[in-house]
Amino acid sequence: LISAVTDAVLEEVAEWQNRPLDAVYPLVFFDAIRVKIRDEGFVRNKAIYIALGILPDGAKEILGIWIEQTEGAKFWLRV
């Protein structure tokens, strides 16, 4: 069931990842949260990082989402 759902949205995910971004975001928030994710048959703790941009009209836009093994400030140096 999960793989069927994943396969159904892969094209939309690719489009989202390649969409053009606005030239200016007056505010950008960066955050991370630790979650449990099933990975290769095991449940593991991973860090989900998110960048959220705020447009001049106040609208919010997710600029990126990343999954990493650990959480730390050094991650953002690679983005």
Question: How far apart are alpha carbons 31 and 66 in whole angstroms?
Answer: 11
The pLDDT, as a whole number, for residue 1 is: 67
pLDDT at 52 over 70: yes
pLDDT average, residue stretch 1-22: 86
- 29: how many CB neighbours lie within 10 A of its CB? 12
Residue ranges covered by each domain of the chain = 23-78
pTM: 0.76
pLDDT for 3 beyond 80: no
Q: Which residues have C-beta within 8 Å of that of residue 16, sequence separation ≥ 6? A: none
Q: What is the pLDDT of residue 70?
A: 85
Calculate mean pLDDT across residues 47-52.
Answer: 95
Residue 62's beta-bridge partner residues?
Answer: 52
CA distances for 2 relative to 6, 51, 71, angstroms: 6, 26, 26
